[in-house]
Amino acid sequence: MTLNEPPLVVLETARLRIRSWIEGDRDLFREINADPKVMEYFAFRRSHAESDALLDKLNGSIRDTGLGFYALELKETREPIGFCGLSPASMPEIFPAETVEIGWRLATRFWGHGYVTEAARALLDFAFTGKGIPAVLAFAVADNRRSTAVMERIGMKRCPQMDFDHPRVPDTHPHLKRHAVYAAMGGRVTP
């Protein structure tokens, strides 16, 4: 499948364009899904074919529902750097069907610049004020301090009573099963 160009721009921040994926993003998406540092808290890495199939699926969700894991692009250089988005949690055994999650991943060379925090704040505000979503969850492996620190920086609150063992993490990776849950409730997110 060929991804559409020009992309659908969902939001812009001071430094970022949050948009649908384009064909030129495939290499970055493959890189992210194969990088051991980026995928440290996931049970597997994706091959090029698996990454391509997932990218097509993500873009289909964006086109169909307006929600999904959007590409992040640096405004100044138009370079893709990773993704951040709002998506149905799709875990009916854990969360109600209407649950929306926020998530992200960046190529390692873009870590440490506050890009995810900037994008996630804008997307939470978009969820509440633009989409009328009453609450957004985020979850990560309990030991994934990089992700949970972003959750805290964007004003999400820890909900230990909602922590869970991820049903799609194989028993061969018990250290990746337990997930910490954070939540943001409607209203405007403050920077």
> Which CATH number describes the domain made up of 9-185?
3.40.630.30
188 has pLDDT over 70: no
CB pairs under 8 A, 24+ apart, for 141-144?
141/41, 141/175, 141/176, 141/178, 141/179, 141/180, 142/178, 142/179, 142/180, 143/41, 143/175, 144/40, 144/41
Which tokens in the block code for residue 140?
A: 């990560």
The model's pLDDT over 37-63, given as tens digits with 9 standing for 90+, comes to: 998 998 888 998 999 998 988 888 888
Q: What is the pLDDT of residue 3?
A: 78
What residues contact 111, with CB distance under 8 A and at least 6 apart? Answer: 146
Judge contact between 19 and 8, C-beta under 8 A.
Answer: yes
The model's pLDDT over 16-41, given as tens digits with 9 standing for 90+, comes to: 999 999 999 999 999 999 999 998 99
Distances in Å between the alpha carbon of 157 and those of 39, 42, 50, 144, 162?
Answer: 24, 23, 33, 16, 12
Cα–Cα distance for residue pair 179/183, rounded to 1 Å: 13
184 has pLDDT over 50: yes
Q: Give 191's pLDDT tier (boundaries 50, 70, 90).
A: very low
Q: What is the pLDDT of residue 11?
A: 94
- Amino acid at the residue 64: D
Q: Which sequence spans correspond to the domains of the chain?
A: 9-185
Q: Give 190's pLDDT tier (boundaries 50, 70, 90).
A: very low
Cα–Cα distance for residue pair 73/101, rounded to 1 Å: 21
Q: What is the pLDDT of residue 118?
A: 98
1 has pLDDT over 80: no
CA geometry: angle 5, 52, 114, nearest 5 deg = 75
Counted residue by residue, the chain has a size of 191
Peptide bond into 6 cis (omega under 30): yes
Q: What is the pLDDT of residue 176?
A: 95
117 φ/ψ angles, rounded to the nearest 5 degrees:
-60, -45
The model's pLDDT over 63-112, given as tens digits with 9 standing for 90+, comes to: 888 899 999 999 999 999 999 999 999 899 999 989 999 999 999 999 99
pTM of the entire structure? 0.91
Other CB atoms within 10 A of residue 109 CB: 9
The model's pLDDT over 137-174, given as tens digits with 9 standing for 90+, comes to: 999 999 999 999 999 999 999 999 999 999 999 999 99
